[in-house]
Structure 1
Amino acid sequence: MQELHDIPLFFSLHNISGTVKCTSPSAVMFRSAVINAGYQISSSHCNPLGLKSDAPWDVIWDIMRCWVKNHPIKEQPRDSPGTAILSKSPQLEANFSRAVAALSKAQVKKVNRFLPNPESHWGPKVRAGRRITSKHISLLGAEALNGAISHQDGNGAVTDKPASDTGATVTNEEENEPSTKRQKTGDGEQASEP
């Protein structure tokens, strides 16, 4: 089924299940219930869990009330929104039997609509030529930085050196401190070094 373009807003099945504090029905079962009630439903293009439907909210909540009848939940506080919603009896008896139109052609062929990230820590990297401090390395890890290579000197201490192809330089924060830093004197006054 194509996305419903005349419906501007979408809702999340997990959010409405969270409102009534119940286990979430599968997307196929919920779609089937909406289709069996005589309404259209489709996925959203911007959220993998988003659903668009021309069904009024009364029908959506009636379907959830029928779901909770079949899958009982724990007692909720009286002032919770879920209790107020579930206190009404459903006007519509939801039919959760699988409808043929509940899956689109792409879903039947198992084509991914929302692709996963190609690798871990995928996304914006450190910009070119930026000074990479030991703080960056401790946060991101040396392997996540393309320009930093760790070497051991003769004493066994690890020093970070930049790779020649990236132009990034690795520095310690202590090296970045100005030599004219103000220091306290013994009598509580601050003096500056020339």
Structure 2
Amino acid sequence: MQPGSGSSSKSDRNLVEKNRRMHMKSLYSMLASLILPQDSKANPPILVLLDLATTHVKHLQERIEELKQAKELLKGDNNRTQKRKRGAIAPVINLRNFESALEVNLISGPDKKFMLHEVITALEEEGAEVIAASHCTVGDMVSYIIHSQAISSRIGIEPSRVDERLKKLISLNY
């Protein structure tokens, strides 16, 4: 063994380690830019950043599942197609609560027996202000999405009452 070869090997290892640390720092920085709000100047510890990223990925996975279910409802399967031929399909209601905001998703067949203004009136009577409403027709299915927020943030919206009221409204008209 030559006297200079040991120090050369050690400096190579040091250089490799330095490059690895720089690469990891770059990756954490990129992750922070994707996870943290754009106006955030805070640089959280790596463990906090990884926890935030994990939570974000889980939220995205849940959202994917919700979208897959909505797609299946719109797309329908063979059983649903046969039911359509025989008769009407009951409307589907899905509520999503976001603190002082509420999103209502209604999916119905072509023979929709409810009026959109009745749904909006029910929301307003429960203390919600409708911010936006949209609809989409795919085949013979109609999907409505209504975004609302609480008129008063102190009072808020009671999602269970809204859900019960909308189901009653639809069951009366269906």
* TM score, norm. by length of structure 2: 0.16
Q: Which has the higher strand share?
A: 2
**Rg comparison, structure with higher value:** 1
* TM score, norm. by length of structure 1: 0.15
Q: Which has the higher helix share?
A: 2
